[in-house]
C-alpha cells in the first residue's frame, strides 16, 4: 500500500513547527518531551508519513509556547510571536 499523501496545509504546519523549533533554539528531543508525543510518532508526522490531528497541534503549540493558531498562519510573523511569548533574546533576525 502506498503512503498517504498529506495536503499542503499539513506541510505548512510541519514547516512552521520546524521553524519554531529553530527559533526557540531548542531540539526535537525537547519538543518531544514537552509535547508528550511519542518519539517515533513525532518523526513520522514531521516527515508527512502520518497526518497531524488537532490534539497533536495543540501539544506541539504548547511545547513551543505559542497558541495553536500560530501554526496555521500564512504569515511568517515569528518576530511578533517571539516577543509576545517572551522568546525574544535580542537577536535581530526575529525582533519585531
* CA-closest candidate to residue 48, choices 9, 22, 78: 9
Output b/e per residue, 18-41; b: 16+ Cβ within 10 A: eebbebbeeeeeebbeebebeeee
**What pLDDT score does 75 carry?**
66
CA distance linking residue 7 with residue 77, whole number of Å: 22
pLDDT for the residue numbered 7: 86
Three-class SS of residue 43? helix
Topology of domain 8-81, CATH: 434 Repressor (Amino-terminal Domain) (1.10.260)
pLDDT tens, the chain, 96 aa long: 455 678 888 899 999 999 999 998 999 999 999 999 999 999 999 999 999 999 999 999 999 999 999 998 776 655 544 444 444 444 433 333
Q: For the chain, what are the domain ranges?
A: 8-81
State the Cα–Cα distance between residues 64 and 77, nearest whole angstrom.
Answer: 15
Amino acid at each position: 500500500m502506498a503512503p498517504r499523501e498529506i495536503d499542503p496545509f499539513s506541510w505548512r504546519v510541519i514547516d512552521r513547527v520546524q521553524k519554531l523549533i529553530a527559533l526557540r533554539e531548542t531540539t526535537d528531543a525537547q519538543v518531544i518531551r514537552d509535547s508528550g508525543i511519542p518519539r517515533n510518532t513525532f518523526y513520522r508526522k514531521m516527515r508527512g508519513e502520518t497526518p497531524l490531528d488537532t490534539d497533536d497541534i495543540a501539544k506541539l503549540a504548547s511545547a513551543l509556547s505559542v497558541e495553536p493558531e500560530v501554526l496555521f498562519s500564512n504569515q511568517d510573523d515569528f518576530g511578533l510571536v517571539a516577543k509576545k511569548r517572551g522568546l525574544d533574546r535580542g537577536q535581530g533576525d526575529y525582533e519585531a
